[in-house]
Chain A
Amino acid sequence: MNEMKAPEVPLGATDHIPRRSQFNDETITLAHGAGGKASAALIEAVFINAFGAPDVTALTDSAILSVPAGRIGFSTDSYVVNPIRFPGASIGDLAVNGTVNDLAVCGARPLWLSAAFIIEEGFEVAELRQIVADMRIAAERAGVQIVTGDTKVVPRNACDRIFITTAGVGLILPERVLGATRVIEGDKIILSGAIAAHGMAVMIARGNLAINAPISSDSAPINELVEAMYSAVEPGSIRWMRDATRGGLGTVMNELAGDSKWGILLDDEAIPIAEPVRGACEMLGIDPLYVANEGCFVTVVAQENAEQAVAALRAGGATQAGVIGEIVSQLPQVVAIRNGFGGTRLVDTLVGDPLPRIC
């Protein structure tokens, strides 16, 4: 355990040296959420130690940020995934990437995040440090700062180990305008990567299925990919964008169809799915179209720019990016998918939740 030790303070030191509380605790108790010394010690030793940035060393009640004129994107999300650690990611990665991605698919450049923690008493400090370290690494990778936060501790069984809520702010350039109403017939649907890995990784990590498969969550920030695409094509040709998280690709496609007047025709064979993921879905009778993703997004791009957009995504590292379907005038407000031998089926909105608490 990487404990924070109080700094050596020479006798007679003046009081402008920050007073640091000793923090050797191994377990979170209700005292850590009570706002007193234990809270201060935890915040300083765990959170400030990881997230501390030049303009946040003063622990005021809110972060004070300078914003240029124009539009900002502002988003929030809560993370309650069970288990909190699974192949490829942890609740900490998700809490950063999820909110970063929500901003990015609105065309925003994510800049700042907040992070609020609800922790069950008895949670191990070492585990909390790991989660916070994951958040710091994810934030660095995405180029965002975590600038404000909150910690609450609740009695045992009042929450399941740890819940994290993040909110984020990003700047939106004026030429970026996205929306379902901007989509027109003939536009291409582009997917940035293979689907269904996150949901299956979490499900298998729960350990109550008698299956084992080398499946890792795809949790990753997508903001760089979005920027790469915007710099490759005329911004107006990017019509609509979403990250395919809970409910998966099938659900976001239905949301687009419902919000526009057009139909969507997908090509089953063009949608990349890693072999172990497809195998696990097949065994469990789960349709990968409805399984959550945490590191890929789907966008609608004008027909004539689709190729360039795909090339930019691939050059940016999304090697499996490609066109997976198009906007059609038949089947208004309906999503359909065509398979290899010419059969077509409806892709409906999911009923119920086959995999609860996956993010």
Chain B
Amino acid sequence: MKYVDEFRDPTAAKELIANIAALAKNLPRTLRFMEVCGGHTHTIYRHGLEYLLPKSVEFIHGPGCPVCVIPAGRVDDAIWLANQPNVIFTTFGDMMRVPGSSGNMLAAKARGADIRFIYSPLDALKIAQDNPTNQIVFFALGFETTAPATAIAIAQAKTGGVKNFSVFCNHVLINPPLRTILDAENVQIDGFIGPGHVATVVGSQHFEFIPTEYQLPIIVTGFEPLDILQSVNMLLTQYVEGRCQVENQYSRVVRKSGNREALRLLEHVFTTRESFEWRGLGAIGNSGYRLADDYGEFDAEVRFELPAAEVKDHPACQCGLVLTGQLKPAECQVFGSGCTPENPIGTCMVSPEGACAAYYTFGRLARPTAD
């Protein structure tokens, strides 16, 4: 895997760390950079990057883990769907342990629901074609990154006339929660490590509103340790030079205008919901996708009469404060006591890309920082 090694090269890392330390030397205050993506959070903790940086540079962990932001009510609906007679419910493995109001999908599967893990929406479509007498429902989730794959499956189902396939759509959009966080009180963010995977679809230009409306820099960033270190270096350089711009660190993958084909497909197959409920952040306007009317026959929310009960977040859960960077994972009142990866209360603790789970799994070590 030469491709990976290049981005984990110790010599290059040490050079970047030295550069960062030099740039951070005369900062007037601590700078806080939000990594938007759960993938970044995972890399930061997995490679111990936090402790390689000077104290005056802090990471705060953003809302970009699509599993983490699914509210309990949607999990309840998913379990309800899985329990319908004749339904084969398909999902990514990450969702299995996300708690609903009474238990998770893993428990529902153990009680007899036919729930299957898949790796691609097309796997779900294939299950539908192989099991014509069953109803196959796919639990679709993720940002603009994964939505095109769902759109392809839906488009293929329509072309192929697959009548027993539907999608429980939980796809969300990246910009609305970023605005919500930036507009919130008590939030100090000095720049963004921007979501590289989302940007492959939407393009780096999608984030122009951050410098123009909020006067903050954003670096669209890859997911290897060197990517993140270079991104911090670029953010600090902008700060020191008094600039705030969208810059593309992940240029080996991301184009300014994104993937036009994927964007066309999204526009065709999906339409924006008026509002979508986010775990920890509440309802955010225009922040989620549903199937466009032309594809309504494949919408599980149309095909089945979902209970769609609203479920409040657990009262002790502080995921919202973690997701807006107001609390570090370990500062949450239930971190590691009431809420652990074995028995999560909030979704930040469920997915390996959740800030709390990543910190719990990799980070709980007393270590000196670089200075």
Contact = CB atoms under 8 A, between A and B. Distances in A.
Co-complex (A, B): yes
Interface of A: 208-210, 275, 278-279, 282, 285, 331, 334, 336, 339-346, 348, 351-352, 354
Given A342-B52, A348-B360, A210 B120 contact: yes
Q: Which of A275, A279, A343, A352 has the most CB of B within 10 A?
A: A343
A346 B365 contact: yes
B139 to A, nearest CB: 17
Given A208-B119, A275-B1, A348-B360, A340 B48 contact: no
B192 to A, nearest CB: 22
Given A208-B123, A275-B1, A348-B361, A341 B225 contact: yes
A185 to B, nearest CB: 18
Contacts of B10: 339-342
Given A275-B1, A282-B4, A343 B47 contact: yes
B363 A346 contact: yes
Contacts of A341: 8, 10, 13-14, 17, 47, 52, 225
Given A209-B119, A275-B1, A348 B362 contact: yes
A341 B13 CA distance: 6
Interface of B: 1, 4, 8-10, 13-14, 17, 45-49, 51-52, 93, 97, 118-120, 123, 225, 341-342, 352, 360-365, 367
Contact of A345 (B17, B93, B119, B365): B365
Contacts of B361: 346, 348
A209 B362 CA distance: 27
B123 A345 contact: no
B1 A343 contact: no
A354 B106 CA distance: 13
Q: Which 7 A-B pairs have the closest CB atoms?
A: A343-B48, A341-B13, A340-B10, A351-B341, A345-B362, A341-B10, A279-B1
A138 to B, nearest CB: 32
B112 to A, nearest CB: 14
Contact of A346 (B13, B17, B362): B362
A345 B352 contact: no
Contacts of B225: 341, 343
Contacts of A346: 361-365
Contacts of A208: 118-119, 123
28 contacts: A208-B118, A208-B123, A210-B119, A278-B1, A278-B4, A282-B1, A282-B4, A339-B8, A339-B10, A340-B8, A340-B9, A341-B13, A341-B225, A342-B10, A342-B14, A343-B48, A343-B225, A345-B45, A345-B46, A345-B47, A345-B48, A345-B362, A345-B363, A346-B361, A346-B362, A346-B364, A348-B360, A348-B362
Contact of A344 (B13, B17, B51, B118): B51
A285 B119 CA distance: 12
Contacts of A345: 45-48, 362-363, 365
Contacts of A275: 1
B330 to A, nearest CB: 13
A265 to B, nearest CB: 11
Contacts of A340: 8-10, 13
A343 B51 contact: yes
A331 B365 contact: yes
A342 B11 CA distance: 11
B47 A339 contact: yes
A348 B349 CA distance: 14
Contacts of A285: 352
Nearest to B16: A341
Nearest to A275: B1
Q: Which of A210, A285, A340 has the most CB of B within 10 A?
A: A340
Contacts of B4: 278-279, 282
A351 B47 contact: no
A343 B342 CA distance: 26
A334 B47 contact: no
Contacts of B46: 345
Contacts of A352: 97, 341
Given A275-B1, A282-B1, A340-B8, 19 more contacts: A208-B123, A210-B120, A278-B4, A279-B4, A282-B4, A331-B365, A334-B365, A339-B47, A341-B8, A341-B13, A341-B47, A342-B14, A342-B52, A343-B47, A344-B48, A344-B365, A344-B367, A348-B362, A354-B93
Nearest to A347: B362
B121 to A, nearest CB: 12
A285 B367 CA distance: 26
Contacts of A336: 365
A208 B119 CA distance: 8
Contacts of A343: 47-49, 51-52, 225
A282 B3 CA distance: 11
Nearest to A276: B1
A275 B360 CA distance: 29
A341 to B, nearest CB: 4
Contacts of B364: 346
